[in-house]
Amino acid sequence: MEKYLLLIIAYLLGSIPFSYLLGKWLKGVDLRKEGSGNLGGTNAIRVLGKPIGFTVALLDITKAGLLVFFLLNTTWFEAFDPLHPLYYGFAAVIGHVHPIWFKFNGGKGVATTLGMLLAYAPWLALSMVVLFFVIEFFTKIVSVSSTISVIAAFLFSLAFHLSGMSDWPLVVVTFMSSVVVVYAHRSNYQRLRQGTERKIVFMDPLWDRLFKNK
């Protein structure tokens, strides 16, 4: 029974709306009514600015990886005979995308997927981050880089599993996460078809310092 209670705790942890809370506390802004209306990190960056937006992303990463990390590195939960750690990470992803507090309308699940993988398979999380920023650098479209990086994480996990270098739950959870992320981005894909999807630049100041001013 306790191991299933932990799933509920993981879901509730994932559903903590850091973007909404920081927007209200620091800017007096309800992020649901600004920008795209999404409670994810990208909208937080656009509306609240990069310092707050990146803080939101970091907190979203942390909340999904927290239980996974503790299950892997402590003996606190052994008496509960817990499920595989990744299932709790995925529950946090679901909590982020479908939080109980806001009629199940939350973020897109990319940062939380990254947090879950960072705690369990850092090599896979790193590949996801690198791919995300490479694609974002060329396209400036977060929905495209998010979708491709999450799907790639699933394909990488499958390839490593087939070569005997990763376990089956990693394949299952990365697949389920990619489905959740793709579904959460359906409005973005519609805007892409219409040519109205907004672009965002994360690295312009760094790019300017390194290259454009030379």
Per residue of the chain (214 residues), what is the pLDDT tens digit?
788 899 999 999 999 999 999 999 999 999 888 888 888 888 898 898 889 989 999 999 999 999 899 998 888 777 777 889 999 999 999 999 999 988 888 899 999 999 999 999 999 999 999 999 999 888 889 899 999 999 999 999 999 899 888 889 999 999 999 999 999 999 889 989 998 888 876 655 444 444 444 4
Distance of alpha carbon 95 from the chain centroid = 11
For residue 93, count CB atoms less than 10 angstroms from its CB and return exposed for 0-12, middle for 13-18, buried for 19 or more: buried
Report which residue type is found at 161. Answer: H
Q: What is the pLDDT of residue 96?
A: 95
Q: At what angle do helices 168-184 and 110-120 cross, to 10 degrees?
A: 170
Half-sphere exposure of residue 184: CA atoms within 13 angstroms, side-chain side: 30
17 in Cβ contact with 106 (< 8 Å)? yes
CA dist., res. 81 & res. 58, Å (int): 30
Q: Which pair of tokens denotes residue 29?
A: 């802004």
